[in-house]
Amino acid sequence: MNKRIKYILIIVFCLLMVFTFINSYLNARDKELDIERKDRERIASKLNYSIRRENNLYTLTSKKLNNKKLNDIFYYNNNVYLLYTDNTNGTLIKYIVAKNKVVVLFEEDSSLKDGVTRIGNSLKIGDKLYSLVSETFKDFPSLNDGEIIFPNLKKTLYMKDDGIYSRNIDDNREDVVILNNLNDKYSIYNIKEDGKYILLEKQSGDRKYISVLDSDYNVVDNYDATDTENSSISYNLLDGGSYLLKTIISEDKTTYKIIDITNNSIIFTSDKGKDSYIFQNTKFISNKDGDILLDDFVTNESRLLISKNDNKARWLPIRFIMANDNYSLLLTLDSNDRKFYIFYI
């Protein structure tokens, strides 16, 4: 009797294992079919979009875009993302550079008509966050009036009467960033794109300073930003080091200065013979008599990207984006919003 029960239990166990295997296989197959269906839809849509490469120049061709204009373009994980919009909707496509493949992420979607905001590795589209990694949506965190979210989407920064505070989004814990005192009053200037530094404006009597704080809220430097020139001045921290970009716009020219905040020294001032400066990390793009140049203000290296002979109409650079791999860069000119360049440095 005991042997019979033992055999029955073995048979039941084997049947359960077979059932589990079959069920897992069917579920996996359903997922594969769903992926194949989505791929077929994207491939069918891809027939309306193509990108042709000619050396470093890439040209997008599509009748589906009609009168849409390029709203945004960026380079992430060896993919180029292009957003084209009009007054009613937008189309977001992903170009996989290594495979020369176009994938349509969103087509004629009304939620894209006002553009997107890139935060870390996600896009804010309306009240949703779209992950560029998983290509899935989640709700955008609820923010109070005046709050600025960090790129890691875990904390916010905001002002109160007595100073600057941060809030953890998960548990709403509030931390003091820096407090005002009798002499100094702080306001938020901006947060560096990688979230490693915070820029605050400090008003101290009749002097104004840009205070640089690290991610632990320690004051790294206070740069004297008291305006002494009759012009518009703005500041921005560049990735790649502790470098503060000072942009001075006057009636007849725009001047750029790079300040090393570790010692408050000016290490770079823009050249009068160049224009259309665009900075990122320690590098910048400029136009000099029709030549498009890539320079580095730390190493003083210079590289010709596009010769005036290939830039006969003297088109100006309007976007310069370093990829997150730190050796690829994306460049667009004002000549045609269906064309872009990729260079490797």
Q: What is the pLDDT of residue 44?
A: 44
| pTM for the predicted model, two decimal places | 0.77
Is the predicted pLDDT of residue 35 greater than 80, yes or no?
A: no
41: pLDDT strictly greater than 60:
no
For residues 268 and 257, the answer to whether their CB atoms sit within 8 Å is yes
Phi–psi pair at 128, nearest 5 degrees:
-120, 160
Least confident window among 197-201, 303-307, 326-330: 326-330
The top-scoring range by mean pLDDT among 35-49, 123-137, 191-205 is 123-137
DSSP label of 111: G
Best CA proximity match to 217, nearest among 282, 143, 155:
155
Q: In this structure, how many other beta carbons lie within 10 angstroms of the beta carbon of residue 297?
A: 20
Answer with the residue of higher pLDDT: 2 or 63.
Answer: 63
Mean pLDDT of 22-45: 57
Express each pLDDT in 280-302 by its tens digit.
Answer: 888 999 999 899 999 999 899 99
Element (H, E) at 19: helix 2-46
Residue 83: per-residue pLDDT: 94
Strands lying side by side in the sheet with 174-179: 148-149, 155-160, 163-168, 174-179
pLDDT for 70: 93
Residue 204: per-residue pLDDT: 92
> What letter does residue 170 receive in the DSSP assignment?
T
The predicted model gives 11-34 an average pLDDT of: 64
CA 305/CA 298 separation, integer angstroms: 19
Given a cut of 70, is residue 21 above it in pLDDT? no
Is the pLDDT higher at 311 or at 204?
Answer: 204
Task: Please say if the pLDDT value at position 228 is more than 70.
Answer: no
Reported as a single tens digit per residue, the pLDDT across 65-74 is 878 999 999 8
Question: Do 44 and 37 contact (CB within 8 A), yes or no?
Answer: no
DSSP code at position 183: S
Q: Is the pLDDT of residue 175 over 80?
A: yes
Long-range contacts of 233-240 (CB under 8 A, 24+ apart): 235/189, 235/199, 235/210, 236/190, 236/199, 237/190, 237/192, 237/197, 237/199, 237/212, 238/279, 238/280, 238/281, 238/282, 239/192, 239/193, 239/194, 239/280, 239/281, 239/322, 240/281, 240/282
pLDDT at 88 over 50: yes
Measure the CA–CA gap between 284 and 292, rounded to whole angstroms. Answer: 10
Closest CA to 105 of 129, 133, 79, 135: 135
Q: What mean pLDDT is predicted for residues 8-36?
A: 63
Question: What is the rounded CA–CA span in Å between residue 4 and residue 9?
Answer: 9
User: Do the Cβ atoms of 94 and 71 come closer than 8 Å?
Assistant: no
* Residue 38 pLDDT > 80: no
Q: Which two tokens stand for residue 156?
A: 């916010």
Q: Is the pLDDT of residue 56 over 70?
A: yes
Residue 75 has pLDDT above 60, yes or no: yes
Choice between 322 and 189, residue whose per-residue pLDDT is larger: 189
pLDDT > 60? residue 303:
yes
| Average pLDDT over the chain, rounded to an integer | 84
